[in-house]
Structure 1
């Protein structure tokens, strides 16, 4: 079964396979919150507690059918993921590893149509919560261990390297291994300003 993907304006559209390995995650880290502020719609892209809803899956399960040329990307730091968005309307799309061989992608809530019953029915409810100390309000969301997720991602990455499926990705050029768009690297002062804005809610 295929689940639809779309940016807000509909110029970027695609699908993700519901049967592919996946986890539903809510991340409250400072950079995810700052990223929502960078794209200009934190009230829409974050939940009420500042969480970013994500579907962690394999890139080979994702198809961008129209508008791939509109994808742009940014890196908040030199060590963080590549954060992809639709430049036509600044819709967050996905986070990926910095290299194609990492073979993971976290599709973000807005491109999935937001968190809700349809997403829960297709992929199950969110059960993993990261960086909960950054969540707004009390009590904090439950702290969940990520070791199992990390090991599953590593195992998937190794399988993808073995069977060659890591090359089937809408985010990297399979011939060169380079991102399909050049990542913009935020200056430290720009990131600091966005993190401060996110901390104020």
Structure 2
């Protein structure tokens, strides 16, 4: 009797194990089936997108496409020219300002402008040390010049004073309103060009 009960219990345990096994197997099969279904849908959608792209590219005649390309080229050139024009206006403003602040016995042969930092590196010649000192003093008193950070000078071979100067400009000078003001001052009182060489990094 005891053996029959044990056998019956073992069979009942094996039945539950079989049920769990087949249930897990069916879940795995369902997951694999879902994976293949979703993969097929993704592939179909990618194919549809490619077909739509091809259809969009084929819209319009060759003449229309050429016209579109020409319009885009002109737009790019206009944008480049606008940026160049703004930079030219800024440089012209600095030139006009420096010319108005430069004494008659001072000449610049190099002018390097860093618009981002507002630094202006200059080198040139002065008649003598007294003329250079007056020029530096005038720069220091100007409201649009914040400070002079580098100053070196020596007597050149021609007897003139060679100098190097670094000037930090006030950010106000970069304002478009200042450019309009400077242009009006230059037209009212034009000065000679004393800046012989200009470099903008």
Bin for the TM-score computed over the shorter chain: under 0.3
TM-score (ref. length: structure 1): 0.21
Question: Which structure: greater helix fraction?
Answer: 2
Structure whose alpha-carbon radius of gyration is higher: 2
TM-score (ref. length: structure 2): 0.21
